[in-house]
Amino acid sequence: MWRTAESVRLQTRSGRDVTPVWMDLALAGIQLPPGTVLDGEGVIFVDGRVDFGAVQSRAASTPARARILAEEHPAHYAVFDILQHPQDGDVRGRSYVRRRAALEELLGDLDVGPPIQPVPTTTDMETARLWYESLQTIGIEGLVVKSGRSTYRGGARQWRKVRHAETEDAVVVGFTGTAARFRRLAVRLQDGRVALSQALTAPLAAQVGERVRGVMLICGRAPAAETSSPSPMSRTSWCKCWRARPAMRSSP
């Protein structure tokens, strides 16, 4: 979230402007002083739980559709970090502890509240364990662990995720990428839905490819007419099983 002199810009890590589909958050960001740049994430609650599907629907919608979705389920902005301070300028070279203090002071002095909120932090292990166990009930997938001494380096992962793992048997029905290098798997879940896995690491892609390629016949990509807007699913190659279908264990 980037508060400019006249407006607010929301952009992805790649720099793509997504302000039109998160206009409710952009309007909330007006209360920040010009020159503020925050690192965060749009979050949507449905029936008291974090709903990543609702976030994906909003991100993939048109501006007109996004306004309708925002009325049904307004978004919240979970602030992870501050990159630029309105008075101190670029603070990425400071330690995380100092950046966090600056963030809390800035939002506190301005009495900034929902939908813009800093994520809770703690240095107490027991509190972290309590959060890890209790917050799963509202859809929080885990914790992020950061070093208090770390500076902010864009594009470099300086933290570690500790997440809950839930396994489910699924049938591989397609993939994105090439037959030589799978990027994601399209899997049919037990309730009949077809979903894409997370991006596969190179070692996992090689392991999965070795198991899957020998038992599947590639039927081709989805016709363009079947997809109304570009999406990873529109670039999926669909497969038909040659022999017995292997059940792949996935962790959503």
pLDDT tens, residue order, the chain (252 aa): 999 999 999 999 888 999 999 999 999 999 999 999 999 999 999 999 999 899 999 999 999 999 999 999 999 999 999 999 999 999 999 999 999 999 999 999 989 888 999 999 999 999 999 999 999 889 888 899 999 999 998 877 778 888 877 677 888 888 888 878 888 888 888 888 888 888 888 888 888 888 776 666 555 544 443 444 445 555 556 555 433 333 344 443
Predicted pLDDT of residue 249: 42
> What is the length of the chain?
252
Closest to 170 in 3D by CA, of 210, 136, 212: 212
Predicted pLDDT of residue 117: 94
Predicted pLDDT of residue 216: 61
CB 250 within 8 A of CB 212: no
Q: Would the CA dihedral through 130, 163, 76, 15 be positive or negative? A: positive
Query: Rounded CA gap, 152 and 91, in Å?
Result: 8
CB 102 within 8 A of CB 85: yes
232 in helix, strand or coil? helix
Residue 36, phi then psi, degrees to nearest 5: -90, 130
pTM of the model: 0.67
Closest to 39 in 3D by CA, of 210, 196, 155: 155
Predicted pLDDT of residue 172: 83
Closest to 11 in 3D by CA, of 25, 32, 61: 25
Residue 87, phi then psi, degrees to nearest 5: -105, -40
Kind of pairing, strands 194-196 and 182-188?
Answer: antiparallel
Predicted pLDDT of residue 154: 80
Predicted pLDDT of residue 236: 59
Structure tokens at 59: 């991100």
